[in-house]
Structure 1
Amino acid sequence: MDGRALRSERTKQLIIEAYLALLDESPEMPTASQIAKRAGYSVRSVFGRFDDMLALTVAAADYAFAEGLSRDVHRHAGGSRARRLRGMVERRSDLFERWLPLWRVLQNHQNESELVSARIGRIRDAMWTRLALIYGVELASLPEFERKMLQIALEQLTDFESWARMRERHGLSVEEARDVWIMAIDRLLPQTPPQEAEPARV
């Protein structure tokens, strides 16, 4: 990329970061004027790079998705049941703490844009796939129908809405909410096959 293109990409990045920062401060979608002021650009610069606010929201969703994928999920895919449980819950809760305001904006506007709706589906698909990866040992021990039903239950248990209720409605701290998830997931999962269980400590 030449210098001009690099500067344009950097401007887009700063606008996205300003948009996300404002979402963290208020649940309402920020205005173009607020975003421009936070990013240090004009409103014209905002709409010079994004057709409208929904296009900016889609770009922000892609930014968040890329950050989520950059975390090494495979690091938590092996090892003992307790290690996998703790690793998955910590990772997912960190992501939800950061991206819950953006998720709510996506939910609020999913009927206005097929692109927004597609991003929601993409995020849900990724979370579904990672559940299968992290708890594959336990899920594989079940018949196909039971395995699917349990994975649906785990998906419902560990989604954005579940995390928001624990943190906001019930006033749990991050660690308390994590402990609830770990306890519930551990009770839902079938027994880990002996060869996959954590080895005895000497």
Structure 2
Amino acid sequence: MIEAGVVKDSMFAPVRIDGRRLRSERTKQLIIEAYLALAREESPVLPTAAKVAERAGYSVRSVFERFPDLHGLQIAAADFAITQVVAMAAPRDVGGDRMTRIRSHVGTRARASERWLPLWRALIANQSGSEELQARTRAMRERVLSLMEHMYAPELSSLSDTARKHTLVALEAIVDVESWARMREHFGLSDDEVSAAWIQAIDRLLPPTPSE
């Protein structure tokens, strides 16, 4: 029979934390962050294991102790980046009026595009031989569509299913990462100018907002 006092004491006993496991997870995270930093700098060329190890401050052996190969590291980095993008793209001002919602959406997409453009280019350029990366690319596009469907629900509610789908696809093309890059790099527009162009295009494309 177990004494009540023993049970009570065991409930409040300090939990032992595996220090080696924590250090290993920390090392894994630093390697992922090093990979992402290099991917931004060298996009669309993928960073080598040697460069990742050097940037992270570890040996190449440490990299492959935590990832089966560079492709495994790329998948882990893509998953981490997607998590960050999703957090940045969380819908805001959903209950606002038409222009408040459009400006909020454009601001979110602009920040995400500016930050993640190089990684997105690396992902697109190297996805052809990887079903995992292709799936993540599709998931990101679906996420953008889902967010817009939520943000612009009042306007889209007046459309048929087909018209709603076509409008969402057109909106996705407007706020695509490469759309941001093209206007910034090729046409030399500032952040504010690109955002203004997006706001104008979205406002013109959306159906009228139903009167309340």
TM-score (norm 2): 0.87
Tell me how far apart the structure 2 counterparts of residues 76 and 117 of structure 1 sit (CA, whole Å).
Answer: 31
Q: Deviations over 1:149-190 (max 9, x none)?
A: 111111111112211111111111111111110010001011
| Matching of residue 62 in structure 1 with residue 101 in structure 2 | no
Alignment partner of 1:4 out of 20, 24, 34: 20
- Find out whether 1:112 has 2:109 as its counterpart: no
What's the counterpart of residue 34 of structure 2? Answer: 18
Superposed, which structure 2 residues align to 1:59-138 within 5 Å? 59-71=76-88, 73-138=90-155
Aligned match for 1:177, one of 183, 194, 201: 194
Paired position in structure 2 for 1:31: 48
Q: What amino acid sits opposite 2:82 in the alignment?
A: F
The whole-number CA distance in structure 1 between the counterparts of 2:73 and 2:61 is 14
Instruction: Choose 44-53 or 185-194, whichever is displaced more.
Output: 44-53
**What CA RMSD, in Å, does the superposition of the two structures yield over aligned residues?**
1.4
For 1:31-50, list aligned pairs within 5 A: 31-50=48-67
Q: Give the 3-state SS of the residue equivalent to 1:194 in structure 2.
A: coil
**2:198 is aligned with 1:144:** no
Encode CA deviations 1:36-73: one digit per residue, 9 max, x unaligned: 11110001111111122222111111111111222472
1:128 to partner: Cα distance: 1.0
In the alignment, the residues of structure 2 paired with residue 79 and residue 65 of structure 1 have an alpha-carbon distance, to the nearest angstrom, of 27
CA–CA distance in structure 2, aligned partners of residues 26 and 105 of structure 1? 9
Corresponding pairs, count: 195
Output the CA distance in 2 between the equivalents of 1:132 and 1:76: 14
Q: How does 1:161-172 map to 2 (within 5 A)?
A: 161-172=178-189
SS of corresponding position for 2:92: helix
| Unaligned residue ranges in structure 2 (runs of 5+) | 1-16
Q: Which amino acid aligns with 1:69?
A: V
Q: Is the 8 A contact 1:54 1:116 kept in 2?
A: no
Q: Identity of counterpart residues, as a percentage? A: 52
* Alignment check: 8 A CA contact 1:90 1:178 kept: yes
- Structure 2 distance, partners of 1:63, 1:78, is 30
**Higher radius of gyration, 1 or 2:** 2
